[in-house]
């Protein structure tokens, strides 16, 4: 299913038709352009490559610019590939707009969560922690990891402190509350992974 590439905006709230306040996340689509097509005969599958946003200075290498030069499309910052059943109806240089999504539809949004560095078990896994009273020396410590004599080691899958965040996450079935074709913005109910300005992928959900 074809989708769009956008940038996460601010969280805000809008009123629906019944007058209720709905918490929404703003996703700025801007200009999405088809930059490439994948066909069954040549590549073994059908897919549409969609680009969006201005490139950074680090991206402006000769190989990266050469990919766009072949197609005649201006250099874009983010390129994503969407698997489709057929590429009929799509052509390189075609602009995709936000009106492919309608209010009331459900979408799946993929993004990278905020990186939080090295985090303890209470923050990373929601441990309850030790006693909070005076005299306790293990308020937020790890404590015992498992049995002592047998097997005498930590079992696989044990939750421990470590690197937290910066993971690719897909939030499924977020409701589209409002679509603004003039501004190129989609408002979806609920939270979206990533920091403000992070690139996200939007696909139609169930």
- Three-class secondary structure assignment of 161-172: CEECCCCEEEEE
Residue 54 sits in the same domain as residue 78 = yes
Distance CA 202, CA 106 (A): 10
Task: Decide: 48 and 100 in contact? Cβ < 8 Å.
Answer: no
Tell me what pLDDT residue 165 has: 95
188 within 8 A of 174, measured Cβ to Cβ? yes
* pLDDT of res. 80: 87
- State whether 74 and 44 are in the same domain: yes
Do residue 17 and residue 42 come from a single domain?
no
Same domain, yes or no, for 8 and 64?
A: no
Angle, alpha carbons 21-25-31 (nearest 5°) = 130
CB 161 within 8 A of CB 121: yes
> What is the domain-level CATH number for residue 46?
3.30.160.810
- For residue 185, the tally of other CB atoms under 10 A from its CB is 17
> Considering its fold, how many domains does the chain have in total?
2
Say what the pTM is.
Answer: 0.83
Does residue 138 form part of some domain?
A: no
The pLDDT, as a whole number, for residue 206 is 64
Give residue-wise pLDDT tens across range 50-101: 988 877 888 888 888 887 887 888 888 888 888 988 888 888 888 888 888 9
Q: Which domain holds residue 51?
A: 31-96
What's the rounded Cα separation, in Å, for the pair 82 and 4? 9
Instruction: Calculate what percentage of the chain has a pLDDT beyond 70.
Output: 100
Count of C-beta atoms within a 10 Å radius of residue 118: 9
pLDDT (0 to 100) of residue 195: 93
Please check whether residues 105 and 63 belong to one and the same domain. no
- On average, the pLDDT of the chain sits at 89
3-state DSSP helix/strand/coil percent for the chain, to nearest 5?
Answer: 10, 35, 50
122 and 189 both lie in a single domain: yes
């Amino acid at each position: 299913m074809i989708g769009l590439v956008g940038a996460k905006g601010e969280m805000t709230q809008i009123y629906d038709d019944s007058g209720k306040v709905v918490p929404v996340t703003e996703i700025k689509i801007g200009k999405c352009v088809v930059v490439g097509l994948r066909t069954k005969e040549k590549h073994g599958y059908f897919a549409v490559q969609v680009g969006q946003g201005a490139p950074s200075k680090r991206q402006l290498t000769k190989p990266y610019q050469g990919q766009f030069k072949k197609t005649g499309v201006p250099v874009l910052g983010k390129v994503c590939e969407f698997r489709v059943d057929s590429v009929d109806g799509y052509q390189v240089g075609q602009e995709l707009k936000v009106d492919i999504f309608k209010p009331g539809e459900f979408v799946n949004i993929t993004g990278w969560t905020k990186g939080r560095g090295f985090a303890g078990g209470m923050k990373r896994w929601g441990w309850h922690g030790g006693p909070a009273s005076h005299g306790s020396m293990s308020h937020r410590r790890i404590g015992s990891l498992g049995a002592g004599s047998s097997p005498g080691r930590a079992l696989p899958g044990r939750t421990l402190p470590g690197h937290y965040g910066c993971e690719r996450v897909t939030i499924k079935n977020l409701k589209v509350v409002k679509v603004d074709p003039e501004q190129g913005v989609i408002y979806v109910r609920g939270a979206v992974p990533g920091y403000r300005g992070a690139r996200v992928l939007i696909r139609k959900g169930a």
